[in-house]
Amino acid sequence: MSEHVHAIHPEPDMVQLLTPEGQRVEHADYPLEISDDDIAALYRDLVLVRRIDTEAIALQRQGELGLWASLLGQEAAQIGAGRALRTQDMAFPTYREHGVAWCRDVDPLTLLGLYRGTNLGGWDPGANNFNLYTIVIGAQTLHATGYAMGVVRDGAVGTGDVDRDTAVLAFFGDGASSQGDVNESFVWAAAGNLPVVFFCQNNQWAISEPVERQSRVPLYQRSSGFGFPGVRVDGNDVLACLAVTRKALDDARSAQGPTFIEAYTYRMNPHTTNDDPRRYRLGSEAETWKLKDPIERVRAYLTREARIEPSFFADVDAEAKKLAEHVRAGCRELADPTAESLFDSVYVTMPDELREQRDEFAAFVSEVGA
Amino acid sequence: MSEHVHAIHPEPDMVQLLTPEGQRVEHADYPLEISDDDIAALYRDLVLVRRIDTEAIALQRQGELGLWASLLGQEAAQIGAGRALRTQDMAFPTYREHGVAWCRDVDPLTLLGLYRGTNLGGWDPGANNFNLYTIVIGAQTLHATGYAMGVVRDGAVGTGDVDRDTAVLAFFGDGASSQGDVNESFVWAAAGNLPVVFFCQNNQWAISEPVERQSRVPLYQRSSGFGFPGVRVDGNDVLACLAVTRKALDDARSAQGPTFIEAYTYRMNPHTTNDDPRRYRLGSEAETWKLKDPIERVRAYLTREARIEPSFFADVDAEAKKLAEHVRAGCRELADPTAESLFDSVYVTMPDELREQRDEFAAFVSEVGA
Amino acid sequence: MTESKTMAKALNDGLRKAMEADPKVVIMGEDVGKLGGVFRITDGLQKDFGEDRVIDTPLAESGIIGTAVGLAIRGYRPVCEIQFDGFVFPGFDQIVSQVAKFHNRSAGLVKMPITIRIPSGGGIGAVEHHSESVETYFAHTAGLKVVACSNASDAYWMIQEAIADDDPVIFIEPKRLYHAAKSEIADAPTPMYQARVVRPGTHVTVAGYGPTMTTLAESAKAAADDGIELELIDLRTVSPLDIPTVVESVRRTGRLIVVHEAPHSFGVGAEIAARVTEQAFYSLEAPVLRVTGYDTPYPPSRLEHEWLPNLDRVLDAVDKIMEY
Amino acid sequence: MTESKTMAKALNDGLRKAMEADPKVVIMGEDVGKLGGVFRITDGLQKDFGEDRVIDTPLAESGIIGTAVGLAIRGYRPVCEIQFDGFVFPGFDQIVSQVAKFHNRSAGLVKMPITIRIPSGGGIGAVEHHSESVETYFAHTAGLKVVACSNASDAYWMIQEAIADDDPVIFIEPKRLYHAAKSEIADAPTPMYQARVVRPGTHVTVAGYGPTMTTLAESAKAAADDGIELELIDLRTVSPLDIPTVVESVRRTGRLIVVHEAPHSFGVGAEIAARVTEQAFYSLEAPVLRVTGYDTPYPPSRLEHEWLPNLDRVLDAVDKIMEY
Ligand SMILES: Cc1ncc(C[n+]2csc(CCOP(=O)(O)OP(=O)(O)O)c2C)c(N)n1
Ligand SMILES: Cc1ncc(C[n+]2csc(CCOP(=O)(O)OP(=O)(O)O)c2C)c(N)n1
Ligand SMILES: [Mg+2]
Ligand SMILES: [Mg+2]
């Protein structure tokens, strides 16, 4: 590179509060006071969402789901971010944020419809302040930004009322960082000083493309070009993800504007159940990342440092087993869409010509089905 | 803004080599050895392109052009950048780079067709290595980037052969910096370390919107987020624009990758001849910028410091007058499009159905015209 | 009938009414604030409703539409201005994959009451991308409604109906009529999504919308001088189409010409031809004819009036269809 | 006839041939390199032709198309892969306003020999945006050509012809047929931009393209069992349309059904209906009928086979048209 590098920075440390070995470490900018009980609760979250994921993959293999996008390896990023949200905050996921859904109290079965092909999502984003999954890469970052514009117009930032001030959390991937929409959302967020936090899970891969295809500098630096802060956090460290996201959301709620968070993590599984990563990456890469497993380090910490019930780990495992059964049984019971449902929500007010098509189709389906 | 500003920089100086008062100043990073004759040549360029502009505005008032986008105030940015190009380099203009066209030896009459409505551009980008004007904001930055990919594939960077190594210069405005396309071109340029220089004329306005609507930090900082250098140059200082662009193009040609240049300048005229800036900005703003006029400072320098022919200024004025006549007379002579021309270049191989439409239309036009 | 207004003023008044009626209505776009838009359609609105409700956005159409989606999720009712027809395309993905599909994706739980205003069509002597007719792209997209006003009264009422509609509406404004002759504003609207017979006739039905309606009115006068009575239909809505009104007319006239500025092939005329032929097969004395833009990019302005559907081209088609 | 191949392999071989024939051909898209594309259509090409000619791009469709335009200006012949139909829209602006218009803008001085490959259509059990039929948007855009292959042999030849074409070509690949039954590769191509009668018949002409052709073949067999002989036309090219071939057939059969997966309204079927009716008005015994996708977003996969034009729906239309 040339010498007139006015605008390239030294790489700061990645924020880490819990080492892969399970040691608590401090970070001056991100002090985190958290009880062992709360850490245990995070452990439970991590284990349960991994279990949901495992179960969904199995269901896909059995033909019960058409597809699944696994979160394996990204549990800490999602639980850390998700647990930083307050009730009134709004989350905008991609198609992989099953862990965030969990934190928002969305029943995992709700997520399965679109992967099973019984609906296209079909949940109410307002019910748990968790937007519908968005498949077009990056599109949801603009939705999040627009939602944040609404929050500002509702007078729900910077009032000091903790139950009122609202932040928006937009999820996207390393690959998505190249999309025009994502960069436009940075433009809007910065120009409007909007209460939106951009949470990028850099899982190192966009299907088969390594992150180097998207950027030659660490992604957290992107936001500096737009005039708002960026920070890289250990995406496999649930405490660091919690602390960093909490801080960013606090800033957003208190009218201090947007933050970009790069959660440095790894997609342990294929991109989706359709993908074959042996074609493009070495298995040894995943082996290395396994040493940084987001759950193991919390378990190590709890085992060594915390006073928890002796039955704790067994209880969580039992709960996971029950959850798996819920997912398994519930998935098989998800109803197929009705013929009418394909037409009924295209418009709020259905045009006559579409009603005719609906009736024709419904008659056809009931005839063929009969 | 919050305190974890890992990625915001102090504002560096704007590169300036000639003050508004016409004083030569030095800049450590951008030494410029230039003879007084060469400065005089730049003066001539500045005056002549301003004259083309003045003439085009007059032609628009007389109804000879449908529209004109004036470069008034931006002559130094365009001449500085344009004169930094080598023959083999390729320039991608917006709709306002009449000064760059001049540097590329494009006859000003060539530019008038699209503003007169006799064609849509219609020149050969390869003839003078000056792309067609692009009206969709930002689209051309991707074209420039793709062209640079071709340059690399042709082995025309980093060979050390000054007649072979090729750079690409992409022009755009402050408003354009918000477009997805422009940011995607930064992604591509950085990831591919491409020989492209992004030259942003920040003329403070995108029609009625001040640059603050697009960015809360200086625009030259944008590229840092993508991992390549950005520099702000006094866009009313032709010497600084020349030096900074020359350096960036040299870097590009020698395989050192992209640079972002923000030429800090001012749109002295309405956005186009259709616009009424009294609705959105104070006249006093232009008055202030008038003191930084790009031509006056060169004239002051030449008058005070250089040994030039006594007749020089008069000669340039005479040449400008002749040029104006050429523009005036030539514009009126620009032929209206033929009926066939609307159809003949839609495809290289015209489909039969389009040929039928063409023949029908041609018959209709000749009938109506008769 | 009350006062007489230009279409530009009627739209401005209609927008003002809509903003007064519902505090959730926000206007957003490039230069819509202080400038009042390049066509002054939003003139004065920012002054009166503030910068939070009339928003000068950064220069990016995908951002304009995408943030409107987010505002809609938050309960707002955004009205987006696209500066010129040809600049809707950077926002196309957000329109087609988000605005159009969101309500359906949510099984009806989230509404997208977004109005996208597009100053459309040619005839104003402009440069490339400033004179296009983009309605067909949106009409072919399930989940969107597409309407076009052709006069001040419709403009005034339809913009309010579009904004009040809980579905997303692409609102086509024939820009060359913005400041054409004033007309009176009706006391009450014709319900949107209905076509209107604007001139009764017996020989040939001619259906158009938006910018072509003034041309059709002239054509009908000229044809009448030759003893041919055109029945003119202002479609008003492109999606859904009001085919019953057209079919009813065609059953009487036996002949139909459809007129639009958008390119000929795969245009609105094709759909109307196909549907009317299906529904009135035995009533048609002649195939449906189309007078449209040609299958070329919009031409340099010096030839635009010849290229556009104009009086001569419409009358040619009338002659042709009468020969069947 | 020579070897037998899947369509996926035929495309892969065709791309290889094109790259061998012209060093200016470059392939670009998401995951087209090491992975060989999510459908493996570019399998092995990066290995053999290098990373400079088979380019894994950043994840942005506007960037893919926009840089292809720049490469074309520099004299290259880019072949862009759009990963799935529904993801072409972020690149729509560059396609419609640049790729389609550049040659015309330059008065014919700059060619845009860009091929945009779009794995298209439904029936693969996928999630939203992965099963759409987007051809109509491009067919309505002057300056583009749109073709669709329906079998391995056409795939092999047409991809080479598209790449060799100096005009931009939208190349529709019916993704659910990629790995369907193998078929033989003809020794020489049927010239592109010509439709082909793939089964002669006397009662009803049925025209389709791309993914629907296998459905039509089954339908013809089933109809023949009932004594109705369908004449099947594989249109192969959507823009320009080969209307003469259809009209010639319709003059014999008097009846036409058009089939496509894209939504019904303002679709390809409408244009064919309009044009054929105009040109063969007195030959038609019945209006042109259409069997198409409905005017809804593509449905959840559990109902996609019912929603798509299928054997039953085609036979229903045959019954209906025979009743006229
Ligand atoms: C606009 C668009 N283009 C292409 C795709 C196909 N696609 C789905 S996921 C994906 C990679 C996404 O990578 P990243 O953003 O890193 O997210 P990750 O899947 O790794 O979580 C691609 C290319 C898409 N969904 N949307
Ligand atoms: C995609 C697109 N949207 C909108 C426009 C309308 N428009 C033309 S120029 C302009 C402002 C451009 O501002 P800037 O990029 O600063 O360039 P300047 O005109 O100041 O040179 C706008 C909005 C356009 N040409 N293209
Ligand atoms: Mg990723
Ligand atoms: Mg500007």
The string of pLDDT tens digits covering residues C151-167 is: 999 999 999 999 999 99
State which of A140, A202, A207 you would mutate to test the pocket of ligand 1, scoring each by most atoms of that ligand within 8 A of its C-beta. Answer: A207
A267 pocket-lining for ligand 1 (C-beta < 6 Å) = yes
pLDDT tens-digit readout, A311-355: 999 999 999 999 999 999 999 999 999 999 999 999 999 999 999
D294: nearest CB among A67, A121, A361: A361
3-state secondary structure of B118: coil
pLDDT at B11: 43
A136: nearest CB among D87, D301, D307: D87
Residue D205: what residue type? T
Which DSSP state fits A154? T
Asked if the model's pLDDT at residue B292 lies above 80, the reply is yes
Spatial CA neighbour of D9 closest among D48, D49, D40, D31? D40
Lookup result for tokens 């918000």: B178
Q: Distance between terminal CA atoms of chain B? A: 69
3-state secondary structure of B268: coil
Q: Report the b/e string of D118-147 with b at 16+ CB within 10 A.
A: bbbbbbbbbbbbbbbbbbbbbbbbbbbbbb
Q: Which two tokens stand for residue B183?
A: 């940011």
Predicted complex: ipTM over 0.85: yes
Q: Which residue does chain C place closest to B112, by CA atoms?
A: C127
pLDDT tier for residue A12 given thresholds of 50, 70 and 90: low
Look at strands A205-206 and D183-184 and give their pairing.
unpaired
| pTM of this structure | 0.98
Length, in residues, of chain D: 324
A206 pocket-lining for ligand 1 (C-beta < 6 Å) = yes
Asked if the model's pLDDT at residue B364 lies above 60, the reply is yes
pLDDT at D1: 52
Length, in residues, of chain A: 370
CA–CA distance, D154 with D156 (Å, rounded to integer): 5
pLDDT tens-digit readout, A220-270: 999 999 999 999 999 999 999 999 999 999 999 999 999 999 999 999 999
- Partners of residue B66 in chain C, C-beta under 8 Å: 125-127, 301
Q: How much helix, strand and coil, in percent to the nearest 5, is found in chain A?
A: 50, 10, 40
Asked if the model's pLDDT at residue A6 lies above 50, the reply is no
CA–CA distance, A66 with A342 (Å, rounded to integer): 19
How crowded is residue B295: how many other Cβ atoms within 10 Å of its Cβ? 20
pLDDT tens-digit readout, A63-79: 999 999 999 999 999 99
Q: Which two tokens stand for residue B221?
A: 């900082």
Q: Which two tokens stand for residue D210?
A: 């791309």
- The alpha-carbon gap from D17 to the nearest alpha carbon of chain A, in Å, equals 24
pLDDT at A1: 29
Backbone angles phi, psi at C173, to 5 degrees: -110, 120
CA–CA distance, A94 with C63 (Å, rounded to integer): 18
A205 Cβ contact partners less than 8 Å away, ≥ 6 residues apart: A174, A175, A211, A267, A271, A277, A281
Lookup result for tokens 């870097």: B251
- Partners of residue C36 in chain B, C-beta under 8 Å: 279
Q: How many CA atoms lie within 13 A of A188 on its CB side?
A: 39
Is residue C1 packed enough to be buried (19+ CB in 10 Å), middle (13-18) or exposed (0-12)? exposed
Q: Which two tokens stand for residue D48?
A: 């053999």
CA–CA distance, C101 with C143 (Å, rounded to integer): 6
Partner-chain contact D301 A209, CB within 8 Å: no
A274 pocket-lining for ligand 1 (C-beta < 6 Å) = no
Partner-chain contact A146 C73, CB within 8 Å: yes
Is D264 one of the annotated active-site residues of the chain?
no
Spatial CA neighbour of B144 closest among B85, B92, B82? B92
- Partners of residue B224 in chain A, C-beta under 8 Å: 6-9, 221, 224-225
Length, in residues, of chain B: 370
Partner-chain contact D266 C265, CB within 8 Å: no
- The list of chain D residues with pLDDT below 50 reads none
3-state secondary structure of B201: strand
CA–CA distance, C54 with A192 (Å, rounded to integer): 14
Spatial CA neighbour of D235 closest among D264, D266, D271? D271
Residue D60: what residue type? A
Is residue A97 packed enough to be buried (19+ CB in 10 Å), middle (13-18) or exposed (0-12)? buried
**Could you write out the three-class secondary structure of C112-144?**
CCCEEEEEECCCCCCCCCCCCCCHHHHHCCCCC
Is residue A35 packed enough to be buried (19+ CB in 10 Å), middle (13-18) or exposed (0-12)? exposed
CA–CA distance, C93 with D65 (Å, rounded to integer): 14
Q: Distance between terminal CA atoms of chain D? A: 41
CA–CA distance, B353 with C265 (Å, rounded to integer): 10
Which of ligand 2's atoms lies nearest the C-alpha of B174? Answer: 16
The answer to whether C15 and C161 have CB atoms below 8 angstroms apart is no
pLDDT per residue, tens digit, chain C (324 aa), is 568 999 999 999 999 999 999 999 999 999 999 999 999 999 999 999 999 999 999 999 999 999 999 999 999 999 999 999 999 999 999 999 999 999 999 999 999 999 999 999 999 999 999 999 999 999 999 999 999 999 999 999 999 999 999 999 999 999 999 999 899 999 999 999 999 999 999 999 999 999 999 999 999 999 999 999 999 999 999 999 999 999 999 999 999 999 999 999 999 999 999 999 999 999 999 999 999 999 999 999 999 999 999 999 999 999 999 999
CA–CA distance, D233 with D255 (Å, rounded to integer): 13
Bridge partners (DSSP) listed for residue D257: D206, D289
Which of ligand 2's atoms lies nearest the C-alpha of B206? Answer: 13
- The alpha-carbon gap from D99 to the nearest alpha carbon of chain C, in Å, equals 12
Asked if the model's pLDDT at residue A157 lies above 50, the reply is yes
pLDDT tier for residue B227 given thresholds of 50, 70 and 90: very high
pLDDT tens-digit readout, B157-189: 999 999 999 999 999 999 999 999 999 999 999
Is residue D215 packed enough to be buried (19+ CB in 10 Å), middle (13-18) or exposed (0-12)? buried
State which of D56, D81, D87, D127 you would mutate to test the pocket of ligand 1, scoring each by most atoms of that ligand within 8 A of its C-beta. Answer: D87
Separation of CA A97 and ligand 1 centre (Å): 13
Q: Which two tokens stand for residue D260?
A: 């496509």
Bridge partners (DSSP) listed for residue C172: C118, C148
Q: Report the b/e string of A123-139 with b at 16+ CB within 10 A.
A: bebeebbbbbbbbbbbb
Ligand (nearest to CA of A72):
1
Q: Which two tokens stand for residue A18?
A: 């819990």
Q: How many CA atoms lie within 13 A of C118 on its CB side?
A: 34
pLDDT at C3: 81
Is D324 touching C (CB cutoff 8 A)? Answer: yes
Lookup result for tokens 């199995």: A58
Question: What are the Cα distances from residue D189, in Å, to C74, D156, D159, D241, D245?
Answer: 55, 9, 11, 18, 17
CA–CA distance, B163 with D186 (Å, rounded to integer): 48
Question: Angle, to 10 degrees, between the axis of helix A312-333 and the axis of helix A108-116?
Answer: 40
Helical H segments across B214-311, by residue range: 238-253, 283-290, 294-305
Q: What is the dihedral of CA B94, B96, B100, B101, to 10 degrees?
A: 90
Helical H segments across chain B, by residue range: 36-61, 75-84, 98-103, 108-116, 125-128, 139-153, 180-191, 238-253, 283-290, 294-305, 312-333, 341-344, 352-369
A369 Cβ contact partners less than 8 Å away, ≥ 6 residues apart: none
3-state secondary structure of C88: coil
CA angle C141, C147, C151 (to 5 degrees): 160
The answer to whether B59 and B98 have CB atoms below 8 angstroms apart is no
The answer to whether A50 and A72 have CB atoms below 8 angstroms apart is yes
Residues B11-21 have a mean pLDDT of 87
Lookup result for tokens 């190590």: A300
D30 pocket-lining for ligand 1 (C-beta < 6 Å) = yes
A342: nearest CB among D34, D90, D307: D307
Spatial CA neighbour of D175 closest among D207, D130, D137, D134? D130
The answer to whether C307 and C299 have CB atoms below 8 angstroms apart is yes
The answer to whether B160 and B111 have CB atoms below 8 angstroms apart is no
